[in-house]
Structure 1
């Protein structure tokens, strides 16, 4: 199979310039559904020195709702992978985050739209992207990462969260009860909706292939990257009847460069 320079791949995907890929490493992640969410997507990672640019385009998310998203896994050589339905250990029909964490590991980086990207910001849904009215999420951000992430980028993977179990177009407590992570949040807001492992190659080749999962692999279709409008600032509050979300749309999620623990 002929190889294509990664710079050309990034240009074809509408990413901000071929220079982004030059002198760095490019990786692709295919996101496959969890919890029968119907969600799928593509993630492109570009690592240049200690600058990591993450671009996500996914669909099948809950329209108008925030999607918590993270890089999970280990930078210490531990082997983690995406879960499947068999990891629903309490057999309640929902793979919750605690059950899934056994497979995909703890949060390494929170993929927020602003502010810090620490693991402790994992539930900072007011700084997470919001799906548009068609259930699409488009996200892009550049952050400064530690040397451990640089050396173990292939051991990390992306997980997005948020499902609509009762198909009423929002996160609420009627769909799946309270989140085991925070009883003030619905389970629908924190349950994983998709997962994908790094399927990458060094600059000079095109990443191909589907994700590998533990005990059975959900089918994934690569979603083409496109330059789309979408981003939001979100105020997320639990109420007796559900979750109220107010958002302010902008033309595109801004690319920001900062340290994982830094302020926006």
Structure 2
């Protein structure tokens, strides 16, 4: 079911007529699935909650990831109103059957927030693979962190409808590790001056979207939900789940 903009406008008007005031960023929660990309076999569920203190709580749980390996993940998007989405299969320009990081970037946009496990979360940490979550021996991945308002780019919470998440790292040849045997060396890593990084380590593994801008949509392939009584009055929230680019600042331990 799609709640259209007119519904949001009416709800907002009704709330204002009652004299109700809400914090600039009242607690709002969106939940959505991150579906596999590149036949990675990976799937995840993401929950993002904007707090009334301006912080953003992020929780991600998933399975089917390359075991005992780091998986870079970022929020991507725009505060200028540009609509970014998950990359379609047609984004594979070289015909190798994989949408690489560099092929996906035009679709999902630049890094907005680096979802590191500790320390800096800015775009500068997009390559900090040593601070990205690591899947366990069974390929399960769990991540939870609250990012302070001061660490968020300007306009993040006001533009959640333009943002999305993507996770990276896949095991294309099924041998349980990142190596160059299946896809060769990462073109993206090499373009940044780092050699010897397998393409498997940098290609996007999952991506998800909640709904189109202006409404909350459910039952469209991605599981989406919104929890907050004041959400309609605030005009709605729609988060586009997306893709990421990552490269280790220090060499990833791999076996060729």
TM-score, length basis structure 2: 0.71
Instruction: Flag the structure with higher strand content.
Output: 1
Offset from partner CA, 1:122-172 (integer Å, 9 cap, x none): 121100000111111110001122441011012101100001111110011
Q: Distance in 2 between matches of 1:138 and 1:240?
A: 22
Q: Decide whether aligned partners of structure 1 residues 37 and 47 sit closer, same or farther in structure 2, where only a CA change above 3 A counts.
A: same
> Is 2:32–2:222's contact at 8 Å kept on the other side of the alignment?
no
Of residues 192, 197, 211 in structure 1, which corresponds to 2:204? 192
Could you list the runs of 4 or more consecutive aligned residues of structure 1 that deviate by over 6 angstroms after TM superposition? none
Q: Distance in 2 between matches of 1:239 and 1:128?
A: 14
Of residues 209, 212, 219 in structure 2, which corresponds to 1:209? 219
Number of corresponding residues: 199
- Is it true that 1:55 corresponds to 2:67 in the alignment? no
Q: Secondary structure at the match of 1:170?
A: coil
Max Rg structure: 2
| Structure 1: tracts of 5 or more residues without a match | 2-21, 211-218, 223-233, 243-264
TM-score, length basis structure 1: 0.69
| Structure 2: tracts of 5 or more residues without a match | 2-24, 225-247
Partner of 2:172: 165
> Is 1:28–1:207's contact at 8 Å kept on the other side of the alignment?
no
Partner of 2:39: 36
Q: Decide whether aligned partners of structure 1 residues 238 and 67 sit closer, same or farther in structure 2, where only a CA change above 3 A counts.
A: closer
> Is 1:27–1:199's contact at 8 Å kept on the other side of the alignment?
no
CA RMSD, Structure 1 to Structure 2 (Å): 2.6
- Is it true that 1:131 corresponds to 2:135 in the alignment? yes
Partner of 1:241: 255
